[in-house]
């Protein structure tokens, strides 16, 4: 039996590639969540009119990988202190966000954010949103496993 986790950590290409490498992750999908327009296109999301974030929805086996491990990967693979920006990518679609699927995920996400804030690791405040999961819209096919299709491991700068 699998569970779902959804994270927005900037461009979904690198985020998806990172999570696909974790043992216990059964599948990933790049997509859009947190906006107001049903079935948004990439162009609409990039046009800042829909309110969606680029996210990766993860199907994982909780017997093989815990949600806390996924949270660790999330925190360690982007800058949670930059509002609506990751590296050269700027816009609300690149915001740092955790969409939780149940109360346990909410509690674990909030606790992990608190631990990160108190760790002293970041010089600026963490701006990551922790919000209930809403409708996830799968991105266009060419966005799925984008880096893998091009023989790339990551798009980190």
Q: What is the pLDDT of residues 123-152, one digit of tens each?
A: 999 999 999 999 999 987 766 775 666 665
pLDDT at residue 156 tops 60: no
Lowest mean pLDDT across 7-21, 66-80, 103-117? 7-21
Domains in the chain with CATH codes: 3-148 (3.30.1060.10)
pLDDT at residue 95 tops 70: yes
- Closest by CA position to 78, among listed 6, 10, 153, 147: 10
Give the active site residues: 11
- What confidence category does residue 110 fall into, taking pLDDT thresholds of 50, 70 and 90? very high
CA dihedral 16, 10, 4, 114 (to 10 degrees): 130
Is the distance from CB of 104 to CB of 62 less than 8 angstroms? Answer: no
Burial label, 36 (beta-carbon count in 10 A; 0-12, 13-18, 19+):
exposed
Cα separation values, 137 from 17, 46, 70, 75, 157, Å: 18, 15, 21, 23, 27
Q: What is the pLDDT of residues 22-63, one digit of tens each?
A: 999 999 999 999 999 999 999 999 998 899 999 999 999 999
When pLDDT is averaged across residues 84-111 and rounded to a whole number, the result is: 95
When pLDDT is averaged across residues 103-120 and rounded to a whole number, the result is: 97
């Amino acid at each position: 039996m699998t569970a779902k986790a959804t994270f927005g950590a900037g461009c979904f290409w690198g985020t998806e590639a990172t999570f696909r490498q974790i043992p216990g992750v059964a599948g990933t999908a790049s997509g859009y969540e947190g906006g107001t327009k049903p079935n948004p296109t990439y162009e609409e999301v990039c046009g800042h009119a829909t309110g969606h974030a680029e996210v990766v929805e993860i199907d994982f086996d909780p017997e093989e990988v815990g949600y806390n491990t996924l949270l660790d990967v999330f925190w360690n693979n982007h800058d949670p202190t930059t509002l609506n920006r990751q590296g050269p990518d700027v816009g609300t679609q690149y915001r740092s966000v955790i969409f939780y699927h149940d109360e346990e995920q909410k509690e674990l996400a909030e606790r992990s954010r608190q631990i990160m804030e108190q760790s002293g690791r970041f010089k600026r405040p963490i701006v990551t949103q922790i919000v209930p999961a809403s409708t996830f819209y799968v991105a266009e096919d060419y966005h799925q496993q984008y880096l893998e299709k091009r023989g790339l491991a990551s798009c980190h700068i």
